[in-house]
């Protein structure tokens, strides 16, 4: 069960309702700055994690007048679209509400997940997938500083992982070991610990006793949460 720290109380709470039902994830972002983009990215990760656990989700975006620009930047990062208004689809009967915010401002009642700042603005030439990876290498409660070295490292990691996934895919498929699957879920269900998920992938990448087919399945499974398009190079020439 996915549990997140509710910023109102500092205590962990279930992100999914106690009874099986709809969870409303509402992202509060007022502009197109990097912090607001990170808020939307964390909202996207939360939606993915809930869906992986079988919880239906209603995802909303509220904010200021620059939403069109923010949405365009979000789409570039592989963030799936959010509804425009809380009035759209009213009456769906959600059983839980989680508000993802950078803090400050008025937020309606419900569980509150606060995202720490990210700065400065990345260069426009930055690879979007590398930027996504750079933004998720720190826990959402920890500030992110987008330095050139960090973006370069994210780009190199992404290229290495995509190349490895393409190679592993040529080997016979093998199931994800139960222990590895458990570690992945334990990480993302513990306050959306995405850096913990990345640590599991680093271990899987170099574990000598793991079959390449199992490595492939592990990365493909984890990417349903991460959204890094790790299988993009399948079928590409060696």
Q: Which residues contact 209 (CB under 8 A, 6 or more apart)?
A: none
Instruction: Find the mean pLDDT for residues 150-176.
Output: 97
Mean pLDDT of 91-119: 84
- How many Å separate Cα 35 from the centre of its chain? 15
Q: Are 165 and 216 in contact (CB under 8 A)?
A: yes
**What pLDDT, on a 0 to 100 scale, did the predictor assign at position 88?**
46
Reported as a single tens digit per residue, the pLDDT across 36-49 is 999 999 999 999 99
**Domain regions of the chain by residue span:** 3-115, 121-233
State the pLDDT at residue 207.
Answer: 96
- pTM of full prediction above 0.85: yes
- The length of the chain in residues reads 238
Q: Greatest CA span in the chain, whole angstroms? A: 53
Q: Which distant-in-sequence residues (6+ apart) come within 8 Å of 48 by Cβ?
A: 224, 225, 227
For 101, the 3-state DSSP assignment is strand
Structure confidence at residue 69 as a pLDDT band (50, 70, 90): confident
């Amino acid at each position: 069960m996915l549990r997140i720290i509710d910023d109102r109380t500092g205590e962990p709470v279930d992100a999914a309702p106690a009874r099986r039902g709809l969870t409303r994830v509402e992202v509060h972002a007022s502009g197109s700055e990097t912090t607001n983009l990170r808020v939307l990215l964390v909202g996207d990760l939360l939606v993915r994690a809930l869906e992986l656990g079988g919880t239906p989700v209603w995802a909303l975006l509220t904010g200021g007048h620059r939403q069109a620009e923010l949405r365009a930047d979000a789409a570039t990062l592989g963030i799936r679209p959010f509804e425009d208004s809380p009035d759209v689809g009213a009456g769906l009967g959600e059983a839980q509400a989680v508000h993802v915010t950078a803090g400050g401002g008025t937020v309606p009642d419900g569980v509150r997940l606060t995202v720490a700042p990210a700065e400065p603005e990345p260069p426009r030439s930055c690879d979007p997938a590398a930027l996504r990876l750079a933004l998720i290498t720190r826990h959402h409660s920890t500030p992110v500083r987008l330095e050139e070295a960090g973006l370069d490292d994210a780009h190199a990691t992404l290229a290495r992982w995509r190349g490895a996934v393409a190679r592993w895919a040529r080997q016979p498929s093998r199931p994800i070991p139960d222990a590895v699957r458990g570690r992945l879920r334990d990480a993302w269900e513990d306050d959306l610990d995405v850096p913990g998920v990345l640590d599991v992938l680093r271990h899987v990448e170099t574990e000598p006793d793991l079959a390449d087919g199992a490595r492939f399945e592990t990365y493909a499974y984890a990417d349903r949460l991460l959204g890094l398009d790790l299988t993009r190079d399948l079928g590409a020439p060696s």
